[in-house]
Structure 1
Amino acid sequence: MLTDPSPTRIDEATIRALPKAEVHVHLEGTFALADILFLAKENGEYLPGPAATLFDITTHDAFAAPAVSTGGGAGAGAAGLSGFLRFLDWQCGLVRTPAQAARVAYAFAARQSASGVRYSDVIVNPTHWNAWRGREIALMRALSAGFDEAEQDGLCAVGIAYSLLRSQSAASAVDAVATLASARPGHVVAISVDGDEKVTGRTGEKFHEAFRLARATGFRRTVHAGESSGPDGVWDALDLLFAERIDHGVRAVEDPALLARLAADGISLGVCPRSNLTLGIYRSWDEHPLPRLLAAGVEVTLNTDDPAPLGSCLEADWAVTAEQFGFDEATMIGFAARSIEASFADDDRKAALRSELAAVVDERSRTGALSS
């Protein structure tokens, strides 16, 4: 291991108790098996294979694809990113009515709350939701209705990062942002871009105008970069796309000047260690650069990416990360605090979350429960 393992494992219950945000999670990667089965029954759709192996896309002819070097999304496994994206298209294609979309949104907020998440920036890429082609604003509004209901019920608050697809045209990206700026659907707080960097190559120039418009019309900006390709995509995200946050960004460790820029400008990286290992971005925990990113002074948060296909949840990912790198509880509290600051929550919500986290930490210190 990169550091000596912690003598006392930080368990999931301790992590759940920490008020926090999650800033790098795809709604498309959070459908539970029960959600998918229920939607398929509602729509009279056959499953592509046995329910028990539905998330193992290598077993289903409809999704299997030759192995490729993957990135820009999780759960691809040996079937390759193309197979995984076909699975997402099929799964999200089961969501066909506003009520179904609202139910998916509500279920997401409930799962986040179960992990102790108080606020989430959830990434939604409408290109996967094929029943809503040409009706993307209606999809955003249907999801927002579910998030509104969830928040009224005391569940996790959610902001939507509307994601462009790296392979779409510059003109369609500008049109999407302009439509969002005009319609202003509830909960849409940011513009994102995702997809496989390694396949598409550098796309910063192509999306420059869309992100310039996003900044001018008040949307926050987050960019998938520095995962399946090197530091160049992160530079482009900063210089061409006005990124306030980078999703993944782990390959920035390969460029000392980039690390210095990220640290100096306070640009946070939404890192997903388990996803990185599952996709083969790094072969082992020993190779993962998380400790080096922290040592360089980069603001890092811990996230799940696509938890359902990975068979995980946020508290489990935090616990295994702490165990592998020997992080103590104080370090994990630091991750919780950074998650709040890195989020696109409004100032009042951030202030409330800071106070809630401070109260939890004070109580644990007072009772002697805080480990270090």
Structure 2
Amino acid sequence: MSTDFKSLPKAEIHIHLEGCFSTETIVELARENGTPLPRPEERLLEFQGLADFLRFLDFICGLSRSKDQLARSAYAFSRRMADSGVGYADVIVNPTHWSGWRGNLSGLVEGLDEGFRAAEADGLPPVGLCVSLLRQQSCVEAVALVEELLRLKHPRVVALSVDGNEAASGRTGEKFAEAFQIAGRGGLGRTAHAGESSGPEGVRDAIFLLGADRIDHGVRAIEDPALVEILADRQIALGVCPSSNLVLGLYRTLGEHPIELLRRAGVPVSVNTDDPALLRTDLAAEYARTADAFAWDKETCRGVAETSIRASFAPDALKTSLLEALARW
């Protein structure tokens, strides 16, 4: 199908700011800070699995040490969204990666907000901030983070998230249940990585222990037909990232990816990029690849984009505007 997916009104709802630094930006920040690269520039984005990938995220984020560098990173993210035709983005930020801002959550949020506000003033897409826990954190640390977010009451922060390597940390739903309950009572959205490095049990925990409004990845739910029914019945959206799943070895080919089986089973699915700079992709390209792999027609693509908008934490008025534009597409 020959379609201009940049023009498709859509939201990006599973994307990490940590994964949006271009090679050029990484090299520039390393030079500014006098920090050596972990490997030669030409091999900078070559990863040996998820653990190596996550270590690299720590390195990248450690390069943003000033408020100006934070604001520049946020502005560059908004520019990336505009270049792919995104109308709104929920961006995930995990404070544990940003070593220069440990113990200064308000400074991290304010620095990023400065960049996002400047971008919006220049006509770039609005962005909501999903602040994420790392699976290796403790229950006490998780609750403390949420309580601080609720004290800050920063309008940029729209949700609590949890990410990290589930295979390495084991099941963490019970550990983080209290933090997610507090977040929900405090009016924050709730989203959780599950069903990527964990199997269906991770998705069940995200639903029943964390009360997740949507699931980041969630694709391994396909291994549990009863769980697929739950997702469909409750209309819990999945933020699916096809290329990420391939690069990190979850599936060998796009044709083997379960996004279409999940969609046909009635599960709301959206297409996203996860870490687009590091995976050398963008949202328009992800739609094009996925639509081609599964022979999606225009109405199917419209339906997937609609899911992304409805499942986002965008303000209602913005959702309405994007949905009206989508109906005209």
TM-score (structure 2 length as normaliser):
0.97
Question: Structure 1 residues 132-141 or 206-215, which shifts more?
Answer: 132-141
In the alignment, which residue of structure 2 is the partner of 1:286? 255
Identify which of 9, 27, 32 aligns with 1:42: 32
2:271 to 279, 293, 302: 302
Write the letter of the residue equivalent to 2:26.
I
- CA–CA distance in 2 between the matches of 1:86 and 1:55? 12
CA distance in 2, matches of 1:188, 1:214: 11
In structure 1, how many angstroms separate the alpha carbons of the residues matched to 2:317 and 2:120?
15
- Structure 1 counterpart SS, 2:69: helix
User: How far did residue 167 of structure 1 move?
Assistant: 0.9
Residues 123-272 of structure 1: matches in 2 within 5 Å?
A: 123-272=92-241
The two structures, once aligned, show a CA RMSD in angstroms of 1.1
Offset of residue 182 of structure 1: 0.2
Contact 1:269 1:300 in 2 (8 A): yes
Match of 1:31 in 2: 21
> Aligned runs of 1:327-338 on 2, under 5 Å?
327-338=296-307
Deviations 1:159-201 (A, max 9, x none): 0110000110000000000000001223110000001111111
Whether contact under 8 Å (1:10, 1:328) holds in the other structure is no
- 2:130–2:159 contact (8 Å) kept in structure 1: yes
Rounded Cα–Cα distance in structure 1 between residues aligned with 2:39 and 2:230: 47
Larger-gyration structure (1/2): 1
**In the alignment, residue 17 of structure 1 is paired with which amino acid?**
S
Equivalent position amino acid for 2:13 in 1 = V
Contact 2:180 2:211 in 1 (8 A): yes
- Distance in 2, matches of 1:294 and 1:264, equals 13
Aligned to 1:19: 9
Residue 312 of structure 2 corresponds to residue 358 of structure 1: no
Which stretch of the first structure deviates more once superposed, 272-281 or 45-54? Answer: 45-54
- The 8 Å contact of residues 162 and 192 in structure 1, kept in 2 or not, is answered as yes
Superposition map of 1:55-134 within 5 A: 55-56=45-46, 77=47, 79-134=48-103
* Unpaired stretches in structure 2, ≥5 consecutive residues: none
The answer (yes or no) to whether the contact 1:294–1:300 under 8 Å persists in 2 is yes
Once the two structures are TM-superposed, the CA of residue 333 in structure 1 deviates from its matched residue by 1.5
Aligned partners of 1:302 and 1:335 also within 8 Å: yes
Q: Which amino acid aligns with 1:131?
A: G
**Which one-letter code corresponds to 2:76 in the other structure?**
A
Could you tell me how far 1:82 is from its partner in structure 2?
Answer: 2.3
Q: What is the Cα deviation at residue 283 of structure 1? A: 1.7
Counterpart AA for 2:168: V
Q: Separation in 2 of the partners of 1:90 and 1:285?
A: 30
Contact 1:248 1:272 (C-alpha < 8 Å) held by counterparts: yes
**Partner-residue secondary structure (3-state), 1:257:** helix
Instruction: Compute the displacement of 1:44 (Å).
Output: 2.1
Q: Percent identity?
A: 54
Conserved? CA contact 1:140–1:186, under 8 Å? no
Structure 1 stretch displaced more, 33-42 or 245-254 = 33-42
Q: What residue identity is the alignment partner of 1:324? A: A
- Secondary structure (helix, strand or coil) at the match of 2:87 reads strand
Equivalent-residue separation in structure 1 for 2:110 and 2:182 (angstroms): 21
CA contact (8 A) 2:214 2:237 kept: yes
SS at match of 2:154: coil
Moved over 3 A (4+): none
CA contact (8 A) 1:170 1:206 kept: yes
1:319 matched to 2:311? The reply is no
Code of the aligned partner of 1:116 = G
Q: TM-score when scaled to structure 1?
A: 0.86
Mapped partners of 1:53, 1:280: distance in 2: 19
Per-residue CA shift, 1:279-310, capped at 9, x if unaligned? Answer: 11112223211111011100000001111111
